[in-house]
Copies of this chain bind each other. A is one copy, B any other.
Amino acid sequence: MKTSKRAKLVAAGWAAGTTADFLGLSPEEAAFVEMRVALGQSLRQWRTRNKLTQGELAKRLRSSQSRVAKMEAADPTVSVDLLLRSLLSLGAKSKDIARAIA
């Protein structure tokens, strides 16, 4: 894992050490987690850039504040589908999303 990516995961609340190490994740599983974390962070960026609270965004998405918080935290109960639809609702384009996960 690149150092920059690890920094992001740590920032997102993942303990130090590689994500893969943490609980015997296979490389694919680790990559999947990394993508989810990256999308969660991206969502937070788009939300704050648009000066919205989680509650306000939730209303726009017809969701709830708690779910938005979980999205941004890449909670295991949040699907990538929901993250993507939320980002698109905030105005993110395919290429923005591609850049976020690359």
Interface residues of A (CB under 8 A from B): 28, 31-32, 34-35, 79-81, 84-85, 88-89, 93-95, 97-99, 101-102
Residues of B contacting A84 in the complex (Cβ-Cβ under 8 angstroms) = 32, 35, 80
Count the copies.
2
Nearest CB on B from A88, distance (A): 4
Docked complex Cα distance between A35 and B101 (Å): 14
Chain B residue nearest in CB terms to A87 = B28
Contacts A32-B84, A98-B98 known; 5 new A-B pairs at CB < 8 A: A28-B85, A80-B81, A80-B84, A98-B99, A98-B101
Docked complex Cα distance between A80 and B88 (Å): 14
Residues of B contacting A95 in the complex (Cβ-Cβ under 8 angstroms) = 102
